[in-house]
């Protein structure tokens, strides 16, 4: 039988007008429109396709789409079995083309585009194998899984040999943990209650609904006004009770000392972590904040805008993060996320992925479930973000029950979107956008 060949790579600019309801609003992003470049890899086998996305918040989505089109020339014509036989090497080719590497390296728009293409490649692989992505990963032999990772610039903290040994040690109890995931799911926290633009009445209603749905972990946005933050945190703490978990997120708003001083004012609300307290690139700043706040029982969480595995290496090795927040689209797809999951395990830092957005929940649930089954073997201090937004646009949306992600069963990486949604929300020609432009609520720029 002839090998399967990738014959086309298409991308569509998909955007949702979430800014109209202030969904996603925080101290830094006041009116985001959740968006994604939507990639489809077509093969010479009828019906065998890979679907992938990356995530933006509106303007700029078209720039990432163009970057995907540039990268597509490196993918179209490739035999899939040759890609998957040494996926780590192929990943390196996508991030190391001499002239395009100058635009990063391995960061920014190009890395977002790499994520979209690589996520589509993993979706294709999982569909060919007839498994959901988490199961594809869980069933891999350690040597095969490690071969998908680019270990450049990581050898001082983790070598391929160490990674293989780590995975082999986690084989004990693997089947039991998989059965546990299928029965109970992976714990998640909700951010849907705490957006900065919400009125108190909406916060109270959403907190009550989340409690009724079984959530015990909640996150609120902070960073715009100290008095308002103190009041809102106390309100949410009162609503959720003394024993449930409360997290806060400043979305990079503060200077280092400002973050320390601000969080000391909120400490009486019994906060588990402060997320993105300052610039996501300031590793030493995060370390200073962690040293000041850890004695108060407040950890530092960051990673959703951490550019690559090399920066994660420094965060983890220095002790600058107590909660590691990988993102399925900020890093260069599954391969690089696997590298960070393994490094975090070596340093004993729980992986608590960032999600929300468009399809991020659908994607990252796979990584968390794999982490528990094959790497960490623990749920202590571990939780994955969940937002109740935009899931209706996916053919196999994530399922959350009693505050837990239930492992997906459909083959692939869970981001196949409905054709009606793609047609309605493609920018700027989709029906929804044309209606909004005609009404004057948006302009086609």
- Catalytically active residues, by annotation: 221, 354
Structure tokens at 274: 């402060």
Q: Please tell me the distance from the alpha carbon of residue 431 to that of residue 326, in angstroms, as a whole number.
A: 34
Q: How far is CA 346 from CA 158, 380, 381, in A?
A: 8, 15, 16
Using alpha carbons, select from 274, 399, 379, 280 the residue that is nearest to residue 331: 280
Using alpha carbons, select from 2, 28, 32 the residue that is nearest to residue 19: 32
Please, what's the b/e burial string for 248-261 (b: 16 or more CB within 10 A of its CB; e: otherwise)? bbbbbbbebebbbe
**79 φ, ψ to 5°?**
-85, 130
- Mapped onto helix, strand or coil, the DSSP state of residue 301 is strand
| Through-space distance between the first and last CA atoms of the chain, rounded to whole angstroms | 49
Q: Please tell me the distance from the alpha carbon of residue 187 to that of residue 301, in angstroms, as a whole number.
A: 17
Strand pairing category for 35-43 and 6-15: antiparallel
- Mapped onto helix, strand or coil, the DSSP state of residue 109 is helix
Residue whose token pair is 């019906």: 47
**Residue 43: strand pairing partners:** 6
Residues 434/442, Cβ–Cβ less than 8 Å: no
Cα 137 → chain centroid: 17
Residues 425/418, Cβ–Cβ less than 8 Å: no
Using alpha carbons, select from 303, 372, 309, 355 the residue that is nearest to residue 149: 309
- Sort 184 into a burial class: Cβ within 10 Å, 0-12 / 13-18 / 19+: middle
Structure tokens at 272: 């588990």
């Amino acid at each position: 039988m002839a090998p399967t060949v990738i014959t086309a790579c298409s991308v569509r600019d998909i955007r949702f007008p979430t800014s109209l309801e202030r969904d996603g609003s925080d101290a830094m992003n006041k009116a985001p429109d959740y968006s994604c470049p939507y990639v489809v890899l077509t093969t010479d086998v009828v019906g065998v396709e890979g679907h992938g996305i990356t995530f933006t918040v509106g303007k700029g989505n078209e720039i990432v789409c163009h970057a995907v089109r540039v990268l597509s020339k490196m993918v179209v014509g490739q035999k899939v079995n040759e890609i998957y036989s040494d996926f780590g090497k192929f990943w390196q080719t996508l991030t190391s083309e001499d002239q395009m590497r100058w635009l990063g390296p391995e960061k920014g728009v190009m890395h977002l585009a790499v994520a979209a293409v690589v996520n589509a490649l993993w979706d294709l692989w999982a569909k060919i194998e007839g498994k959901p992505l988490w199961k594809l990963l869980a069933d891999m032999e350690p040597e095969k899984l490690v071969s998908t990772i680019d270990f450049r610039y990581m050898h001082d903290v983790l070598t391929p040999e160490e990674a293989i040994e780590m995975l082999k040690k986690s084989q004990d109890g693997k089947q039991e943990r998989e059965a546990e995931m299928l029965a109970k799911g992976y714990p998640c926290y909700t951010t849907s209650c705490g957006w900065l633009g919400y009125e108190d009445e909406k916060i109270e209603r959403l907190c009550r609904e989340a409690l009724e749905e079984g959530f015990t972990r909640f996150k609120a946005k902070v960073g715009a006004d100290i008095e308002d933050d103190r009041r809102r945190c106390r309100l949410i703490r009162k609503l959720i009770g003394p024993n449930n978990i409360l997290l806060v997120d400043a979305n990079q708003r503060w200077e280092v000392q400002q973050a320390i001083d601000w969080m000391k004012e909120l400490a009486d609300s019994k906060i588990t972590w402060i997320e993105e307290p300052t610039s996501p690139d300031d590793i030493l700043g995060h370390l200073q904040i962690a040293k000041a706040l850890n004695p108060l029982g407040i950890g530092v969480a960051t990673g959703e805008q951490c550019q690559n595995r090399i920066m994660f290496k420094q965060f983890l090795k220095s002790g600058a993060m107590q909660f590691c927040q990988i993102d399925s689209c900020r890093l260069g797809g599954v391969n690089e996320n696997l590298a960070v999951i393994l490094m975090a395990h070596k340093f004993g830092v729980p992986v608590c992925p960032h999600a929300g957005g468009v399809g991020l929940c659908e994607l990252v649930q796979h990584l968390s479930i794999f982490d528990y089954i094959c790497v960490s073997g623990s749920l202590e201090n571990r939780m994955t973000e969940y937002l109740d937004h935009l899931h209706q646009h996916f053919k196999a949306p994530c399922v959350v029950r009693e505050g837990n992600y239930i492992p997906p069963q459909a083959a692939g990486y869970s981001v196949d979107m409905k054709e009606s949604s793609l047609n309605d929300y493609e920018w700027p020609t989709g029906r929804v956008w044309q209606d909004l432009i005609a009404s004057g609520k948006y302009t086609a720029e």
